Amino acid sequence: MLYLAVALIVLIWLVFNSIALGRIKNNINLTVNQIKNYSLFVWGVPFLGAIFIIGHMPAYEPEEKGNGENFLLTTTNLEEQFSNEFGVSFSEVVTASESNNIDLEKYKHYFPYWFRHWIASLGDKVGADFSAYELTHSVVLSRSPFSFAKAVDTAVGYNLNRMRQLLAGINCFNEDKCAVFIFDDEELYYSYLGQFYDEEGEFSQSSGVFISLPFKHLVVKSVVLSEIEHVLVHELTHLLLSDNDLPVWIDEGIAMSVESRLAGYNVYQKNLNMEKHSVFWEQDRLESFFSGAGFKEAGDLSEYSYDLAMKLVSVFSSDWSRFAQFVNQATREDAGQKAAEEILGIDLREFVMHFIADD
């Protein structure tokens, strides 16, 4: 009888936990850390943890499309605001810019409107169900519910604050708000990216990209925050570093390191040890690493390039002050060779070859 009572209690506990964990998992607005913490709470506090979650986290239901009107960006409203502020129609300024007949000093004041108008008009082009919301830290273009846009904005603000502290001493982009485009359809995602690459080029699989033209913006694929949080961290790092003329290996190495440290994510760390690196790399392959070409090719060369970049950044950044100086002076033209000589006191290529061979 006692065993039956215990079994019944355990069964009820598991049912409650299953319901609570289901609500946690299905909430698209939770970050990875929130999902982890809530799940630990459910298992660590029998019954009370699950009851609390069930009582305070209702089953997820998509919002009505109408929510968030006060944050909505539309081309009509932006053009009206522009005309009221500057006394000239937005279309006149566009025409003047196309003919290179525009006052550059005024353009600085026009830029915030131009930036937002481009996002709003893009939303009209990619689909009528897409909406652009201007929030505290970002402008989010998506066809997801407004609550998801708010959750993304919160994640952007939280991570940008931590990243700026982490990258202290390095020149970082600090203008306007971050633009984040979210596509829930893979075909639409790659179709959008296609305009920024050569038509004959082969796409490597990705979950997110930082694009600098025509305006700096992040493009991510997925509408579940816990799936894209590490992608946001990686691409936001590229945004922060985008005012520098960095070699690809430094740019990607820092982005991978920040992603690993802040989001706990590193896709290569379990597979690529230094023994594999020493076998893989040859002189011609190293040149593709330094030029940045190796990062663009799908397959082993790309994977080894990303991993080696992260390992080198880890070594050089042990003296953060000198590393920040190195990053601020490094240029893409020579892959950071001159800056390495002047700041780190090394011949970069020789150091990397010894680093690979010695480990």
**Which residue shows structure tokens 């990243």?**
163
pLDDT at 359: 56
pLDDT at 77: 86
> Among residues 159, 162, 271, 152, which one has the least CA distance to residue 220?
152
DSSP code of residue 220: E
Question: In the structure, how many helices (H) and strands (E) does the chain have?
Answer: 16, 6
Helix (H, G, I), strand (E, B) or coil at 268: coil
Sort 198 into a burial class: Cβ within 10 Å, 0-12 / 13-18 / 19+.
exposed
Can you say how many angstroms the Cα of residue 334 is from the centroid of all Cα atoms in its chain? 27
Q: How many CB atoms lie within 10 A of CB 270?
A: 7
Q: Residue 221's beta-bridge partner residues?
A: 183
pLDDT at 343: 95
Measured between alpha carbons, how far is 13 from 45 in angstroms, rounded to an integer?
11
Cα distances (Å, whole numbers) of residue 211 to 38, 194, 216, 259:
35, 12, 6, 18
Q: Which CATH number fits domain 69-241: 3.40.30, 3.30.70, 2.60.120, 3.40.1130?
A: 3.40.30
**Which residue shows structure tokens 């003329």?**
245
Helix (H, G, I), strand (E, B) or coil at 31: coil
pLDDT at 172: 92
pLDDT at 215: 87
- Going residue by residue through the chain, which has 359 residues, state the pLDDT in tens, using 9 for 90 and above: 666 766 677 677 676 677 777 677 666 566 666 777 777 776 777 767 667 777 666 665 554 444 677 888 888 888 888 888 878 787 777 776 666 655 656 667 778 888 888 898 888 787 778 999 999 999 999 988 888 898 899 899 989 989 999 999 999 988 778 999 999 888 888 888 888 776 554 556 778 899 988 889 999 988 777 778 889 999 999 999 999 999 999 999 999 999 988 887 666 555 667 778 777 887 678 888 899 888 887 778 888 899 899 999 999 999 999 999 999 999 999 999 999 999 999 999 999 988 888 75
Q: How many CB atoms lie within 10 A of CB 42?
A: 25
pLDDT at 65: 47
Phi and psi, residue 281, nearest 5°: -80, 135
